[in-house]
Amino acid sequence: MSLQKVVALVPMRHHSVRVPGKNYRPLAGKPLYQHILDTLLACPEIHEVVVDTDSQVIVAGVRETFPQVCVIERPAHLRADTIPMNEILMYDTDQVPADLYVQTHSTNPLLRAETVSRAIQTLQDNYPAYDTLFSVTRLQSRLWDGLARPINHNPAILLRTQDLPPVYEENSCLYLFSRQTLELRRNRIGERPYLFEIERDEAQDIDEEIDFTIADLMMRARGAGA
């Protein structure tokens, strides 16, 4: 199977509990969602960018500022907060055919176009040995479970944290998958996923109010250093 036709999917809810209106709230001078759209449109490997949303604010903004972006207005039966993302992706991939889908979020404004391109090229070059790809952040910290049991270290052997064997956090910045994998597994992660490492500063995710403040400062610092 070829992975040549690439479509980027960006789901965006209107409602957000912890950071009200975050997807369209201004960040470093423009609405949050515009940052990720600028990033995806700068990737030559991506043939089409698609926004799935239930927000009329975002629908109007995308159509005005990004007329080349396809907008899918999310149907009512998929709008509840309890609907799994994989079900939304099943709907979206049925609307817009592609060989390979790249899914990311508006809450990853520091993600760089070069990183997205490199992820696409990595899976294309390694398929079918790897059937999907998702982005991760390396952790080299002493981790414990809720019962105070060590997860990734031996407390009797106090290694420096930089010498610990790394573990990896799924950072939700990037998922690359085919419709076939999504249908078979009802999951965007396949049987043989490639763990694609992203630096921590680029993987900054906006989940709480403090994250918005940090991302705003980082975006402004990046712009000042450009």
- What does the pLDDT look like over 55-107, one tens digit per residue? 999 999 999 999 999 999 999 999 998 899 999 999 999 999 999 999 999 99
**Which pLDDT does position 10 carry in this prediction?**
98
Residue 1 in domain: no
Domain span at residue 199 reads 6-225
Model confidence pLDDT, tens digit, residues 116-130: 999 999 999 999 999
Residue 52 in domain: yes
Positive/negative CA dihedral, 157, 159, 163, 166: positive
Closest alpha carbon to 109 in 21, 9, 34, 16: 34
Return d(Cα 204, Cα 77) in angstroms, integer.
31
Return d(Cα 50, Cα 126) in angstroms, integer.
25
Instruction: Tell me how many domains the chain contains.
Output: 1
**Which pLDDT does position 217 carry in this prediction?**
93
CATH number of the CATH domain containing 49: 3.90.550.10
Q: Are 161 and 141 in contact (CB under 8 A)?
A: yes
Residue 124 in domain: yes
Residue 183 in domain: yes
Q: Residue 197 forms beta bridges with which residues?
A: 136
Return d(Cα 67, Cα 49) in angstroms, integer.
11
